[in-house]
């Protein structure tokens, strides 16, 4: 069984989940418990029907749907199959059939809803469960519902794929919402806590509160997975890579969780300090018609991964003194290195593209993280700013047009550094990043 996957841009990656041959089987258990038994198990907490990954009870505002379901029981109309997943502790979580089970649960309560708008059994309109004659109550109690339970022995990636196939709602669950169901535990709680509890992280993503579809949680997960597994060990598809990591860390120790929280907090702070509005975003160089570049409003997952992971082994003391130089190096890379740009535009999480993107940025970062005070190659931000503020200093020395944003200014060596030119103000001039790129 080879399960295909798509990357985040919706392009088929053409790779399976790399599941070992002996584990390529879905283990299920099929039962037909009566409605009363299902309701009892839900009330006792053995079946979780309102997991936080599930949609709200949308039938709450649709009394005709709820009543028709109960009428179907009396008419012996087959009820669609309910799917549940077995957790490690033996409990079950409903993955398909939530609305039906919650309707049965609500109807059978002492103060349950009253039937309405029935067109066949019109005589039951206005009656609640407790107002029905005993024989009809018994019909509800004893009516069997087919339940397919996906057993905990099934391979996590197969379960993930099955969840996707069953996810037929009008708004399909995201990958991370599915993981939130499958990989429940201390690590899952940590991811959600880190995503929701860091105001800098929310601000970087232009969020005022946690993302409703858990995109922010998946960003935390990717960061921790790349840090722990190492870029060299990454293999697409990203979906399988993250699933496997969540399974491994499901019951994380408190000490490890604390270390990961501290690393995440540090890297978020550094990304905000160094990149500011460029955190997770591209700077797109201008063109021949208009050499002024502009900041993209779109959040780019591949860029954000590289920015976050790049700082994982550095201290604040290593980075903050060189923040503006690092930002300039990033701007040159994202606006002028075609191969690097392709890694954030095409097949973002393909194995080769991911490694190339990460390794390129890590190499550039190493060049400036221990910024030399002697014969240096890069100009500081203060030096660039001093030129930019001079009279006519913000005029591009190639196209002779005004440079509108300082982030779009590239400090060029008049005498090339490779030919012995010194990194001094006397040997410096500003150009548009596009113009500097175009001259070759």
pLDDT in tens for each of the 440 residues of the chain? 233 333 444 343 445 556 666 667 788 999 999 999 999 999 999 999 875 555 555 576 678 889 999 999 999 999 999 999 888 888 998 888 888 999 999 999 988 999 999 999 999 999 999 999 999 999 999 999 999 999 988 877 777 777 777 765 545 678 898 888 788 889 999 999 999 999 999 999 999 999 988 999 999 999 999 999 999 899 999 999 999 999 999 999 999 999 999 999 999 999 999 999 999 999 888 777 888 888 999 999 999 999 999 999 999 988 998 898 899 999 989 988 999 999 999 999 999 999 999 999 999 998 887 654 555 677 777 788 888 888 778 888 888 888 888 888 888 888 887 777 888 888 889 988 888 877 76
Give the DSSP letter of residue 77. Answer: P
Helices 63-74, 134-142: crossing angle, 10 deg rounding: 90
Taking CA atoms, 417 is separated from 147, 224, 385, 411, in Å, by 71, 38, 20, 12
- The neighbour count for residue 191, using CB atoms within 10 Å, is 26
Taking CA atoms, 7 is separated from 113, 159, 188, 350, in Å, by 44, 18, 22, 8
Closest CA to 93 of 145, 152, 133: 152
Please tell me whether residue 214 adopts helix, strand or coil conformation.
coil
- Yes or no: say if 100 and 81 are a contact pair by the CB < 8 Å rule: no
State how far the Cα of 363 lies from the Cα of 326, in Å rounded to an integer: 12
Q: What is the pTM of this model?
A: 0.68
State how far the Cα of 268 lies from the Cα of 201, in Å rounded to an integer: 6
- Yes or no: say if 296 and 284 are a contact pair by the CB < 8 Å rule: yes
Tally of residues, the chain? 440
State how far the Cα of 166 lies from the Cα of 302, in Å rounded to an integer: 29
């Amino acid at each position: 069984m080879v399960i295909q996957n798509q990357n985040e841009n919706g392009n088929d990656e053409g790779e399976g989940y790399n599941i070992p041959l002996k584990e390529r089987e879905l283990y299920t258990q099929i039962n037909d418990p009566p409605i009363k038994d299902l309701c009892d198990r839900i009330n006792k907490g053995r079946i979780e029907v309102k997991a936080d990954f599930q949609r709200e009870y949308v039938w709450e505002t649709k009394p005709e749907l709820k009543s028709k379901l109960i009428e179907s029981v009396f008419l012996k109309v087959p009820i669609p199959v309910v799917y549940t997943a077995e957790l490690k502790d033996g409990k079950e979580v409903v993955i398909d059939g939530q609305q039906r089970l919650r309707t049965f649960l609500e109807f059978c309560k002492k103060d349950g809803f009253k039937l309405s708008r029935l067109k066949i059994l019109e005589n039951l309109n206005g009656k609640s469960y407790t107002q029905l004659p005993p024989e009809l109550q018994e019909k509800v109690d004893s009516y069997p519902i087919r339940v397919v339970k996906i057993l905990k022995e099934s391979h996590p990636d197969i379960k993930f794929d099955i969840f996707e196939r069953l996810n037929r709602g009008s708004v399909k669950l995201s990958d991370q919402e599915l993981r939130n169901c499958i990989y429940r535990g201390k690590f899952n709680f940590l991811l959600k806590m880190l995503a929701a509890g860091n105001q800098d992280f929310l601000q970087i993503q232009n969020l005022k509160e946690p993302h409703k579809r858990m995109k922010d949680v998946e960003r935390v997960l990717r960061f921790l997975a790349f840090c722990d597994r190492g870029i060299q060990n990454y293999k697409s598809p990203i979906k399988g890579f993250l699933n496997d990591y969540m399974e491994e860390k499901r019951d994380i120790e408190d000490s490890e969780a604390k270390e990961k929280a501290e690393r995440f907090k540090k890297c978020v702070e550094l990304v905000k300090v160094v990149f500011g509005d460029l955190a997770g975003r591209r700077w797109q160089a201008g063109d021949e018609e208009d050499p002024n570049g502009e900041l993209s409003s779109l959040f780019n997952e591949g860029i954000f991964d590289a920015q976050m992971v790049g700082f994982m082994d550095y201290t604040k003391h290593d980075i903050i003194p060189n923040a503006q130089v690092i930002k300039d190096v990033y701007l040159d890379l994202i606006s002028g290195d075609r191969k690097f740009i392709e890694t954030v535009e095409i097949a973002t999480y393909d194995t080769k593209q991911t490694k190339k993107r990460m390794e390129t940025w890590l190499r550039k970062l190493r060049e400036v993280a221990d910024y030399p005070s002697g014969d240096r190659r890069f100009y500081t931000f203060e030096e660039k700013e001093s030129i930019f503020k001079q009279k006519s200093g913000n005029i591009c020395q190639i196209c002779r047009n005004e440079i509108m944003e300082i982030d779009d200014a590239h400090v060029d060596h008049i005498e090339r550094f490779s030919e012995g030119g010194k990194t001094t103000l006397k040997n410096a001039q500003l150009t548009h990043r596009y113009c500097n790129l175009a001259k070759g």
